[in-house]
Structures are given as structure tokens and as C-alpha cells.
Amino acid sequence: METANIKTPPMYKAQGDMFLADYECEREIYCPDQKMPSLTIKSLRVCRFCNKKFGEVSFKKEAHIFPVALGNKYLVSDFECDSCNHIFGTYEDDLCKYLGIERTLSKTEGRKDIPGFVSSNIRATKQPILGQLDAIKIEPNNGGEIFGFNPETNTRTITYKKPAYVPVNVYKALLKMALCCVAKGDLKYYQKAFKFLTSSDLDGKIKACYLFGYRLPINYTDMFGVLYRKRYDSLKTMTHTFILYYGSFMLQIFLPFYQKDLKHYTDLHLPIMPPLFDGTGDEKWVASYAIKDDLSSPEKRIGEEEVLHMKISEEDLKNMVAIDPFTKKVVERKSSPPNVAGIFIVDKDFKFKLD
Ligand SMILES: [Zn+2]
């Protein structure tokens, strides 16, 4: 299975074949690097989500299809009114919280610079070190313990707490992106999905807001989405599934409430897209990062913990040094110092000079 330059590792071939037996690509959506031409003029716009026309609602704001906070500058739509845009902003905030430290680690430039990340026990910020201007410094917040190291597997771990977020809002943020990608002819079959998206009336009543996917040991620096459609109406799966590639994440949802799918709801089978690699990263690492999360609840999740695993190669160990936090000078080469005050993450090909 291949999309652009990415492909699935051989060990996931069966899963890929199963997915492609049911689904074919309907649309790939990339973020352009300049303003989009030929949007419908404002006075003729109708909101896809609340179905209201210009005059009933306003269209003053730029409506981004994928969040600005995840690095999208120019991919905008002409079918999202300001009221719906305001509601979706809340969902996107929760999505960012769900993604935790990812926006900082993947150096996503949102509205301004690379965002810092702070939660109850961790702080991550862009800071210069040994000549690299945009290294990421990770340190405990409030005196907690966040770093671990397993010398047998050469794995460093960072265990931290995410900020509180509302699960169903995370799901809705992804659903909104997906519904922006659906063709006009299908919109009439998604009316209940739009109702779910634009109000809280159905929150908690829908029990199947599942998120699937993977964390990959690579970084999709340019976010993109793919909408897949099932090959035959008679297949007992959802008509559309959408996958967002962002940073180290592949996030997959099945679009709910497509009218013609309802008859299959008691006996559904949901094929999951296998992990895709772009040629970088260690493929063996993917299994420990599978995501299957029920995001149906409107109740806040507080203090959810995430463990990041960083495999350190022999080569990396040779390049690792301890730095005195006060003098910012390299003290000695050491792979696992007992008292780690913080870690700086520099670019893979970065070479510093020892004093
Ligand atoms: Zn609207």
C-alpha cells in the first residue's frame, strides 16, 4: 500500500490488504503553501454545518479546514460560518490538549512560533543550546519525576500528564475536518452528523466515537488528511473513514450517521489502516504505539498520563553528553546520569562541538 512516498512495512501487509479490500481513496487533502484562489464570494455562501445562508449568519472569519494550531496556514473553506467556527475552536483546543507535548516536539509553527507545552508535571520550551537555536528543552514542572532510563534496551522514557480535555470534543475536532472533505453529493446523508457536531445534545449518547491509529517514530512535518470510501454499499462497514497524518500521529475515525449505513450498525466491522512509513524511523517500534481510544464521553479526562519511549542507538549514546545547567557547558560524556534536571532534544543530524 502506498500513498505518495509513504508505504506500509511488510509485517502489516495482511492488515493493509484487509483495509484495501473494503476501502478506496476518495480524496487526499494537503495544506497549500499560499492563499487559496477561487473561494465562493461571501454573499453567496451557505454553511455546510448549520445549513444557514449569508445574512442569517456571517462569514467574516477565515475558516481553516485543519487547525492553524497544527500548522495549517492556508487550507480554508468557504462553507463554515462564524458561529460554527467559534464552536469548532473549542474542539480544536481539546484536540491540542489530547496531543499533549506533540506540537512542541514536532516543532509545529502555529499562529506564532513553536509552541511551548506546560502541564502539571512537565515543561517543554524552545531554547538554544550549543549552537542549535531551536532545541527543545524538557524538564519537570513542580519538582516531579518524569525521566526514566532502561539501560538494557537503551530506552529513555518521559512520563508526563496531559492537560485536562473533553474526549468527545477531540473526536468532534477530527469529525469536523473529515466532514469538510466529504463531497457535496454526500452531505444530505450526513445531516445527523452535522447536528451532533454543532450542538452538545447528542454528547454521551453516541457510544461509538472511536479513535484508532498509531504513534510512529517519524514526523509528518506537513500535515495531510485522506478520506477513504467503502468500495460497495453492501459492505458492513462505514461509508467513509478519515485519517489525519500529523507529527508522529496517524489518527483514524469512521464517519458516523451516514444515513445508508444505519442498517449495518448492529453488525459492523471496522478495518484499520496499517501504519505507514516514509522511509525514516525504525519500523519495529510501531507496535508499542497503537491507539484505540473511546472518545464518546463528554466528561473531562483529568491527569491522563502518557509515556514517551525514546530508543537510543549506539551512535546516539556516543553523542550524548551531560551539561551543567548553570554554566551551560558540557561536563562529560555520559549516557545515563543519575540526576537529570532536563533534556535537550536537538536535530538528528546536529553535531555540536565539545569545548
Ligand atoms: Zn454554521
List pLDDT tens digits, range 239-251.
999 999 999 899 9
Q: What are phi and psi of 159, to 5 degrees?
A: -110, 120
Averaged pLDDT, 267-274: 89
d(CA 330, CA 200): 54
* Alpha helix (H) residue ranges in the chain: 13-22, 82-98, 102-105, 167-181, 191-198, 314-319
* CA of residue 202 to ligand 1 center, whole Å: 18
Mutual angle of helices 167-181 and 82-98, in 10-degree steps: 120
d(CA 168, CA 253): 12
Residue 142 is predicted with a pLDDT of 84
- List the one residue out of 104, 136, 133 whose CA is nearest residue 119: 104
Averaged pLDDT, 186-192: 96
Comparing 132 with 18, the larger pLDDT belongs to 18
d(CA 253, CA 299): 20
> 66-80, 181-195, 200-214, 336-350: which range is least confident on average?
336-350
pTM for this entry: 0.91
Averaged pLDDT, 95-116: 91
* CA of residue 301 to ligand 1 center, whole Å: 28
Averaged pLDDT, 76-102: 97
Measured over the CA atoms of residue 280, residue 285, residue 289 and residue 290, the dihedral's sign is positive
What does DSSP say about strands 6-7 and 240-254: parallel, antiparallel, or unpaired?
unpaired
d(CA 271, CA 212): 10
Element (H, E) at 202: none
Averaged pLDDT, 57-64: 96
3-class DSSP state of 222: strand
Kindly tell me if the per-residue pLDDT of 12 is higher than 80: yes
* CA of residue 189 to ligand 1 center, whole Å: 17
What pLDDT digit, counting tens, does each position of 227-242 carry? 999 999 989 999 999 9
Residue 2 is predicted with a pLDDT of 43
Cell readout for 146 is 518524569
Q: What are phi and psi of 204, to 5 degrees?
A: 85, -15
Element (H, E) at 344: strand 343-345
**Cβ 281 vs Cβ 310: under 8 Å:** no
Kindly tell me if the per-residue pLDDT of 355 is higher than 60: no
Task: Read off the pLDDT band of 37 (50, 70, 90).
Answer: confident
What does DSSP say about strands 321-323 and 305-311: parallel, antiparallel, or unpaired?
unpaired
Q: Calculate the alpha carbon distances from 62 to 35, 79, 261 in Å.
A: 11, 10, 33
- List the one residue out of 144, 102, 145 whose CA is nearest residue 124: 102
Q: Which residues surround ligand 1, an ion (CB under 5 A)?
A: 47, 49-50, 81, 84
User: In the predicted model, what is the mean pLDDT of the chain?
Assistant: 88
* CA of residue 74 to ligand 1 center, whole Å: 20
* CA of residue 180 to ligand 1 center, whole Å: 12
What pLDDT digit, counting tens, does each position of 271-302 carry? 999 988 766 666 565 555 788 999 999 999 99
* CA of residue 11 to ligand 1 center, whole Å: 44
Residue 55 is predicted with a pLDDT of 96
Residue 335 is predicted with a pLDDT of 54
* CA of residue 51 to ligand 1 center, whole Å: 6
- List the one residue out of 72, 79, 59 whose CA is nearest residue 29: 72
* CA of residue 52 to ligand 1 center, whole Å: 6
What pLDDT digit, counting tens, does each position of 122-180 carry? 999 998 887 788 899 999 998 888 998 877 777 888 999 999 999 999 999 999 999 99
**Cβ 173 vs Cβ 92: under 8 Å:** yes
d(CA 75, CA 221): 15
* CA of residue 86 to ligand 1 center, whole Å: 9
d(CA 305, CA 69): 22
Q: How many CB atoms lie within 10 A of CB 151?
A: 8
Q: Calculate the alpha carbon distances from 156 to 70, 197, 215 in Å.
A: 26, 40, 16
Task: Read off the pLDDT band of 323 (50, 70, 90).
Answer: confident
* CA of residue 312 to ligand 1 center, whole Å: 48
Kindly tell me if the per-residue pLDDT of 1 is higher than 50: no
Cell readout for 2 is 502506498
Residue 231 is predicted with a pLDDT of 97
d(CA 295, CA 149): 31
Residue 205 is predicted with a pLDDT of 83
